[in-house]
A and B are shown apart, each in its own frame.
Chain A
């Protein structure tokens, strides 16, 4: 019983030669992991830059839209004032004439 256990332990602890190209495979895996990590970091940065650009473009567009709307609103208000001015003056004149008849 004890001998069997010792034999198994001996086999387990026995020095084994690595399989051929083991070192190359390990080094390849390390390099690959490094490449993937760098690609992932690049991807993260690209996404962050894209998001920042999108945010900046969106903000600029929103600001521009606000400025355009302000200008259009002020222009519409001025036009309305002009229309009301013309109409009011004409109606006042008509009213005076009607009152004078």
Chain B
């Protein structure tokens, strides 16, 4: 029993630092770049974010807003792959990342799955002491895979609401309608 307890404590001590670590982008993702027709790979660590922040003007309201948001960030990592054909990546390519996100520090706050469009999205938040400490977004579309990993304190809605600022498009596609409900409404109208 004592031996088991020692082993359990040792295992816990070994796992704890891992839980505290920031997540790592799977190395396997880089192989997808060979198949992709378009690749965006942005890696901004704390030093580069500070440097970028120095070039954001305080006079421009949009840039000042972004500068304010960036205050709590330690890293921004984005990988986006666009493919000419469907099925160029597998679910397993993202599995290594999902495995890291199963640690207690991370919580999946949103999952959307669309069989019709073949589009799946997940949003994960990391909290430390009641404060947001990280954000991961995984969007898997038939011909596109996007992974965003933001380390630091930022709310997803703060980034979402950047639409319309700094040349970031504001998506105005309107809420997605429920097809079955629409059909029923049409039948009732008749």
Per DSSP, chain B at the interface is: mixed
Asked if B162 and A73 sit within 8 Å, CB to CB, the answer is: no
9-residue interface stretch from B25-33, B94-102, B164-172: B164-172
A101 nearest CB across to chain B (Å): 8
Asked if B49 and A80 sit within 8 Å, CB to CB, the answer is: yes
Asked if A88 and B139 sit within 8 Å, CB to CB, the answer is: no
B135 nearest CB across to chain A (Å): 8
The A-B contact count (CB < 8 A) is: 116
Per DSSP, chain A at the interface is: helix
Give the chain A neighbours of B9 by CB distance below 8 A. Answer: none
Q: In this complex, what residue of A is CB-closest to B77?
A: A83
Asked if A86 and B146 sit within 8 Å, CB to CB, the answer is: yes
A87 with B55, Cβ < 8 A, contacts A76-B49, A92-B163, A93-B171 known: no
Asked if B159 and A79 sit within 8 Å, CB to CB, the answer is: no
B64 within 8 A of A: no
Asked if A91 and B156 sit within 8 Å, CB to CB, the answer is: yes
Asked if A86 and B175 sit within 8 Å, CB to CB, the answer is: no
- How many residues does chain A have at the interface if contact means C-beta atoms less than 8 Å apart? 29
- How many residues does chain B have at the interface if contact means C-beta atoms less than 8 Å apart? 45
Asked if B51 and A72 sit within 8 Å, CB to CB, the answer is: yes
9-residue interface stretch from B10-18, B40-48, B83-91, B125-133: B40-48
B19 within 8 A of A: no
Q: In this complex, what residue of A is CB-closest to B114?
A: A97
Asked if A100 and B56 sit within 8 Å, CB to CB, the answer is: no
Given contacts A80-B44, A100-B178, 6 further A-B contacts (CB under 8 A): A76-B49, A80-B49, A82-B40, A83-B77, A91-B156, A94-B112
Interface positions of B (Cβ within 8 A of A)? 40, 42, 44, 48-49, 51-52, 54-56, 66, 70, 76-78, 80, 110, 112, 114, 121, 123, 137, 139, 146, 148, 150, 156-157, 159-163, 166-171, 173-178
Interface positions of A (Cβ within 8 A of B)? 69, 72-74, 76-77, 79-101
